Amino acid sequence: MPTVDVYNTNRDVVGQLDLNDSIFAVAVKPHVMHEVVLYQLAKRRAGTAKVKGRSEVRGGGKKPWRQKGTGRARAGTSRSPVWRGGGTIHGPQPRSYEMKVPKKVRKLAVKMALTQKLLDREFTVLDQFQMQSIKTKDFAALLNRFELGKTLVVIAQPDEIVEKSARNIPNVKVLRSEGLNVYDLLNYHNLLVTRETVGRIEESFAS
């Protein structure tokens, strides 16, 4: 069973926390996480790009000139794709980019990402956020104290002080535990959570 140190906001060790094997000690398979990341990115695509084909552009009902005798190439419509203002050939049409990935696989990929964070020593647990007011300066000082750069902060429940204190700091994202996902875990170098957050994660992902 993996064990991690629990810190206060001054970076003093105030205890230790045993982590669930089924979440923080699973076999890491990069191809599984890669598949789920592709799934997440595909879901973000709107798929609303649209151009008009030759049957949709305005005009072009009349034959521009007679078939023979003009010396010019024959033409049946002024909205041919080779004409200015004509339709587009094989242009984008509305579509869905969504992929199908089983829920169990998505859940497993999150466990793998959490395990990888732990193995890479990019997993920091606080006893709690001891912030009395909304102050970006104080939150930035906390991150500097732990020498954290690009950081994903996961909180157990809505916390206006933490969320508003961190929102103007570059490369820092605050996420609630129910929104934990593979893309954000892999995109941010460090993971900062509280003891309560770990409990929520274990409740959600324990098999």
Convert the pLDDT of each residue in 159-174 to its tens digit: 899 999 999 999 999 9
Helical residues (DSSP H) of the chain, grouped into ranges: 21-24, 30-44, 103-119, 136-145, 160-166, 182-187, 195-205
If asked whether residues 168 and 75 sit together in one domain, one would say no
Question: Three-class SS of residue 149?
Answer: coil
Task: Give me the residue label for tokens 């969320």.
Answer: 163
pLDDT at 207: 62
**pLDDT of 59 over the 90 cut:** no
Residues 126 and 201 both lie in one domain: yes
Q: Are residues 83 and 152 in the same domain?
A: no
DSSP, residue by residue, 78-110: TT-TTSTT-PPTT------------HHHHHHHH
Please say which residue of 91, 116, 145 terminates a domain: 91
Together in a domain, 137 and 181: yes
pTM score of the predicted model: 0.83
Q: What is the pLDDT of residues 102-139, one digit of tens each?
A: 999 999 999 999 999 999 999 999 999 888 899 999 99
Q: What local confidence, expressed as pLDDT, does residue 132 receive? A: 87
Q: For the chain, what percent of residues have pLDDT higher than 70?
A: 100
Looking at the 3D structure of the chain, how many domains does it have? 2
Looking up residue 177, the CATH number of its domain turns out to be 3.40.1370.10
Q: What is the DSSP letter of 19?
A: P
What value does the mean pLDDT of the chain take? Answer: 93
Whether residues 125 and 41 share a domain: the answer is yes
Given the DSSP bridges, would you call strands 123-126 and 172-176 parallel, antiparallel or unpaired? unpaired
Q: Mind giving me the DSSP string for 174-186?
A: EEEGGG--HHHHH
Same domain, 121 and 137: yes
| Predicted local distance difference test score (pLDDT) of residue 57 | 92
Q: Are residues 86 and 149 in the same domain?
A: no
Q: Are residues 55 and 143 in the same domain?
A: no
Same domain? For 128 and 40 the reply is yes
Residues 172 and 189 sit within 8 Å (Cβ to Cβ) = no
Instruction: Tell me the pLDDT tens digit for each residue of 180-207.
Output: 999 999 999 999 999 999 999 999 988 6
Q: Residue 21 belongs to what domain range?
A: 3-46+99-205
Q: Do 191 and 134 share a structural domain?
A: yes
Asked if residue 80 and residue 165 are part of one domain, the reply reads: no
130 shares its domain with 117:
yes
User: Any alpha helices (H) in 127-193, and if so which ranges?
Assistant: 136-145, 160-166, 182-187
